[in-house]
Amino acid sequence: AHRAIAAPLQRPALRLRETLVRLGLAHVRSPARVRGHALDRARVLPLVTRGDPRMLIARTIQPDSDLFLGVLVDCSGSMSGANLDRARRFAVLVAEAARGLTGVDARFFGFTDKVIYDAGDARRCAVSSLRATDGNNDAAALTHVASVAMASHRKSKLLVMISDGLPTEC
């Protein structure tokens, strides 16, 4: 079921993948430089004995992803039909884009008012199995996924909720 949804989404998934790769920036330290911001103490001896001027540490900024991406799909009864199909397609698009990226952890969840479904990660995404039933509890789903995100060791955290915006009456 996942492959059937993912096949027509390959081009948009590649474009999203390029964005995910360039999402973060990191300072990379380069020792033994003539220009830099800090003294490399290990290079003092070569400076004194051989006159080697490369004694500074430079920092260069390079693209480096370090992202936790949590996707929540509303599985309430109001999402049945075309709404849930679009939500599944978007989640599969994100899964295909994040699959195999070392700097991105993507997790997928479905939720109703009674249950939060763990729909896997980018390698084993089960979003295509989600069905529309019951009501919705947005706050509980966001709290659960936020706790999963906080347990991640990634620097950046992004939560995406896909919903039609119709709450269950209290």
Q: How far, in Å, CA of 70 to CA of 14, rounded?
A: 19
Spell out, as residue ranges, where the chain has pLDDT lower than 70: 24-25, 167-170
Residue 118: C-alpha distances to residues 66, 100, 110, 130 (Å): 22, 20, 7, 10
Contact at 8 Å (CB) between 67 and 105? yes
Q: What is the pTM of this model?
A: 0.75
Please give the pLDDT value at position 33: 86
Residue 132: C-alpha distances to residues 56, 79, 80, 93 (Å): 60, 6, 5, 20
Please give the pLDDT value at position 168: 65
What are the pLDDT digits (tens) for 83-125?
999 999 999 999 999 999 888 999 999 999 999 999 999 999 9
